[in-house]
Every structure is written in structure tokens, then in C-alpha cells.
Chains A and B, each alone.
Chain A
């Protein structure tokens, strides 16, 4: 009996000592992963700071442009495509300066044909970026709808890659900032995960992070920036905030490969109205670098100050406290009567000859914003475009429908000019205030 006891004690003692010994032999913890350092020599846009940039849809296609997508995003399936009496778009571009254009089924009152451009053409995107330079708009965020660039949609992917190729070339040529902006609308959870693969592909195809190949690719916090739009909305999306959180972890990785801007609903801070009540959204925002709330349709000129005043200032304060950059959105107006097949939706948020856009520019500036996101450069489906659009009286006929033109007393480039003035103000030039600047 005694022997058993003694043996047991010895065993215990040995095992203890063994344990102690083995601790010393454990492999050392892996060295912390070093944060990646990029060469930013020659980079023109190293922070989304003091910049006025716009969103660039680039999703239009024209019959005959080689994309094989027909009148993509111009026509409406429910009424038979792109023809008089049927279109997805309310505004019509001013076609004067395009060198490549395509005859449409539309005609003007004098019987002449109406033409349309396609961003599939290099010359067209070149023209758009030339305008950005001419009017002092710093650059654009290239929209990339995950559902459009999946491998199951080869024509979509080819289209968006061609537009991006055109844009990267033009951005470099005109010294304009450029950044990829993924839109998760319509995604399933597995599509959110697919984004990572697409993003890797883009880096390989276009050498996005190379400071010589793409010196104007937008960077922030010393990393190239990628935008993920559409997280936190309470409109029953199939993917969750947790899906996006996992994606951000993967995109950044332990070496913090990229900076991330999140596109979130307008009431993201108080988690009400358009926003899910999920504190996980705030945790996700805190691990990102920039937050940009979606303001399109959330107010009009009449209630802008009431809706946006305190919201903006409190958002900016939250972001300062949590060390996240805040970028507010401004849009010139809204109109989607043709897309919604509802004439009551024409000019549903009136532009008021630029007063509404300037109200938001001034509001953002007064509230302490340092940069601006203008929605959008070329969005004519929802009528938020700032690029050159045809004026009332200069529009093609549209059967029992209509196109919406700019006010005839404004030049077709007025909103490019006005956005450029916002750019000057955000860069610190004096002489700007709440009163809309007068064009000489």
C-alpha cells in the first residue's frame, strides 16, 4: 500500500516537473504580422481629405458598342426596352462632345435621330475624366455591383472591367483620383464572400496598388482604399452585417492590406429608420477607415436643415470620437419617373437650379466635413447626374413619356461647374458661404 502511495506521489511530482519543463520547450509565439507598407512616391491622392469626388456608374451600354449588352441600363424590360415611351432613364446626356455615339430609336421634334454614348468606349470615359479636370472635380468612385461581375455573368464582368480599364487610363491621363466601390445590393451571403476574389483579380489585372502604374488610385491611412457600399440597411437584404464584417477582416488581413470605406444607411448612428438596430454595425464601422452615409432621397430642400443639421454634426462628432473619417453625401436632385413607370416621380426632389446641391455643400462644410461624395457623376436613371445633360427644349421625344431636362436658363455643364466650386471651397479657397456662387 505504502509503495503505491509513494509511487503515486513520485509520479505526480514528475508530471509536475515535466509540465514545468515542457513549458520552456514550447515553440515561441509567432512574430506579430508586420503591417504592410506601400510606396506612395508620386501618388497624387494619399487621403480622402479636402476632396470632392463623385460616384461613377459607368453601367450604360449601347447597341453596337461591342459589349453585347444592348441598351443596358437605358432600357426598361417591363415596357419593351429603350424606345419612345419606354426607358429606365429620366435625364438625357448632352451628346455634343462625344466622338463615339450610337443611333437610338429616339428622335427630336425636327425628325433628327437622337444618339447615346457608351462608357464601353475609351474615348467616352476619357471625355468624362477630361470634364472632371476642366471643372475641378477631384475624381470618382467606380461602382462595381457584385452581382454584375460574378463569373456566372461573363458579359457583365467584361463590361465593368472594360469601363474600369478606360477609367484607370483616363484618371492617370488627367490626374484624377479613382477608387473601386463595390455595391452589395442584391447579394447573397456567398456573393459577399466572392467580392474578395474579384478584388484580388482586379489587383492582378490592373496592378491597382502600384504607385507608378496607378499614381492616382485613392489611398487613405497609407493604404489603397476600397469601398463596400450597402451594410446596415434594414430592407431585408439576404446578407448580414456579420457577413460584411468577416469580409472586411479578410480584405484587410493581419497585415492591414487596404483601407476600407463603408457605405451605410443615413441613420447609421442612431440605428433607426433605414438602419437595422444592430450594435454590430458600429463595431464594423470602428474597424473601417471611412464612413459615408447614403443621403439620396432622405431629404429635399424644404426639410434639409431639419433632417440633416443635427444628424450631420452628431455623425461627425461620433466619427471624431471613434477615429473614423466621415464623408457626407450631396446630390443635386432626384427623378425616376420612367424607371418607376410613374409620372408623379418626375423631379420628385427638385434641383432648384442648383440651390439644393449648394445647400448640402454648405451644410457639410458648416458642420465640419472635410470632404464630399457627390451622387453621382452619370446617374440618369435616378436623375442625380452632374455631368452635361440636355436642357428642357433640347430633349428627344419620348412617346407618352418624357425626359427631364435641366432648366433652360442653365448651361448643360452647370452642375459640373457648381460641383467644381464645392471643390474649391473644400480645398480652402475663400469667398464661399451659404449663398450659391454666381457663375460669371
Chain B
């Protein structure tokens, strides 16, 4: 009898405990876009190792941050968040760092960011003439750091960039750039090391990028352009 009572008590405790500890599942969504504050256009990103949105839930000690990734066009969304207040900031990006802001995330919460990119790629043009793909552009850097390198990147996926590329024409700069200078980068589709990678009959995406020399910086991009080879 004693034993039965014990088992029953334990079961009761166990069930009660389970019921008590069950929080509601994550029901909240945070979504939005990251814009260039100067041009009011979406700020292009990398899908892999790109800028992220760092969120820290309030009410916990030593809380671990969570990171939400941007899509290539600068949009982001995460629908598996707990309803609560958070500190939110886009970080480790291709823009001048911004201060975190406190946001109450409940239901579908929209939060857009307006930032200044490290580099604006001005008058970008990608053209194909026969076997030669040519990119021309100027750079308008918004910080005084050196521009580390520029590149023209190619991949069959529209999210082409860093590190998602089959081939690239890159140029080291390592200097503060002159906004009046027009840069030209080319990819020769018939070059021996490229013709086996970028194959005729398929569509490839080409995108111009430029990387500032700053801690944890990510490249800035112009929009990708597609060519059917």
C-alpha cells in the first residue's frame, strides 16, 4: 500500500511538473529589411557568412545571442521566436555599426534597419560581348579605411558572392579609393580554367563586390546580372 501510494505520488509530481514546466512554443516572428540610409534601397548581402541580425532576449542572465541571417536581397525573417522583449542589432556586416535597439517581439513584428554601407558601388554595369563579360563601376566609400579588394563573381545560383562562386575576377586595392575612378573587371568565358566551369547552354549570375578593410567586415554588392551562355 505504501509502495502504491509512493508510486502514485511520484506520478502525480511528475505530471504536475511536466505541466508546470511547459512553456508556450515559439509563436512570434521578427522580419524586415536592411536598407542603405542614403539611397533608400535594399542593401545586398551574402547568404553564407553574411551580415546577421543579433537578438538577445531580455529577462535572462548571461543570455546567449541568437543570429538571424539575411537573404541575399537584404530581407530577413524568423518565425520561431518566443514572445518577449529583445535587444536587436544587425552586426558583423557590410555597413557602419549601429547601436542595438530594444524591441518587443510579439505576433508578426516588423523591424527594418537603415544603415550606411561601407562602400557604395556606383554606376555598376555588367555586359557580355562574345566570350568576355565586363563589369565597370566606381566606388563611393563611406569610411576612411582602405578598400581591400574588388571582384566580379560568377555562379549558377543567383545568390552568387562570397563564398558562393564558381569563378571570380578579383583585384587587390589596399588603398583609399578615388570616387571618380572607373574600375573594370573581366571574365573570359573561353579561358582554359573557366570554360570547363561556366558551361554553354546554362544560365550564370554575375555580381560586382567590394570589400572594406575593417574588422569583421563583409563585402558590399551591386545586384547580380544573369546571362544565358
Contact = CB atoms under 8 A, between A and B. Distances in A.
Contacts of B144: 304-305, 308-309, 312-313, 362-364, 366-367
Nearest to B99: A318
A438 to B, nearest CB: 17
Interface in B79-133: 96-99, 116
B213 interface: yes
Interface in A350-373: 362-364, 366-368
**Which interface residue of B98, B145, B146, B214 has the most chain A CB atoms within 10 A?**
B145
A220 B77 CA distance: 44
B75 interface: no
A193 to B, nearest CB: 32
B143 A312 contact: yes
A309 B144 CA distance: 5
A321 interface: yes
A306 B214 contact: yes
Chain A binding surface, main DSSP class: helix
Nearest to B217: A310
B141 interface: yes
B147 to A, nearest CB: 10
B99 A306 contact: no
Contacts of B97: 310, 314
Which of A309, A314, A363 lies at the interface centre, i.e. has the most chain B CB atoms within 10 A of its CB? A309
Which size bracket describes the interface of A in this complex? 20 to 34
B142 interface: yes
Contacts of B214: 306, 309-310
Nearest to A316: B96
Of listed B116, B143, B144, B212, residue having the most chain A CB within 10 A: B144
Contacts of B141: 366
A196 B105 CA distance: 47
Contacts of A313: 96, 116, 142-144
B176 A367 contact: no
Contact of A366 (B96, B98, B176): B176
B61 interface: no
A433 B212 CA distance: 19
Given A305-B213, A309-B214, A313-B116, A321 B142 contact: no
A317 B178 CA distance: 23
Nearest to B142: A313
A314 B96 contact: yes
A367 B116 CA distance: 11
B215 interface: yes
Nearest to A305: B145
Nearest to B179: A433
A413 to B, nearest CB: 27
A207 interface: no
A362 B96 contact: no
Contacts of B178: 433-434
B145 A306 contact: yes
B116 A309 contact: no
A434 B143 contact: no
Given A305-B176, A310-B215, A434-B176, A317 B96 contact: yes
Interface in B174-218: 176, 178, 212-215
Interface residues of B, number: 17
A305 to B, nearest CB: 5
Nearest to A270: B97
A147 B146 CA distance: 42
Interface in A290-330: 304-306, 308-310, 312-314, 317-318, 321
A366 B212 CA distance: 14
* Highest count of chain B CB atoms <10 Å: which of A312, A313, A314, A366: A313
Contacts of B213: 305-306, 309
Contacts of B116: 313, 317
B37 to A, nearest CB: 9
Contacts of B96: 310, 313-314, 317
A362 B96 CA distance: 18
A317 B116 CA distance: 9
A321 B98 CA distance: 10
Nearest to A304: B144
A367 B176 CA distance: 12
B99 A321 contact: yes
Contact of A362 (B98, B146, B176, B212): B176
A8 B216 CA distance: 75
A313 B143 CA distance: 6
A317 B176 contact: no
Contacts of B146: 305
Interface in B122-163: 141-146
Contacts of A310: 96-97, 143, 145, 214-215
A366 B99 contact: no
B143 A309 contact: yes
Nearest to A435: B178
A266 to B, nearest CB: 15
B122 to A, nearest CB: 15
Nearest to B215: A310
25 contacts: A304-B144, A305-B176, A305-B213, A306-B215, A309-B143, A309-B145, A309-B212, A309-B213, A310-B96, A310-B143, A310-B215, A313-B96, A313-B143, A314-B97, A317-B98, A317-B116, A362-B176, A363-B144, A366-B141, A366-B142, A366-B143, A366-B176, A367-B142, A367-B143, A434-B178
Nearest 7 pairs between A and B by C-beta? A309-B145, A363-B144, A313-B143, A313-B96, A309-B143, A305-B145, A434-B176
Given A305-B213, A318-B99, A366-B142, 16 more contacts: A304-B144, A306-B145, A306-B215, A308-B144, A309-B144, A310-B96, A310-B145, A310-B214, A310-B215, A313-B96, A313-B142, A314-B96, A317-B116, A321-B99, A366-B144, A368-B142
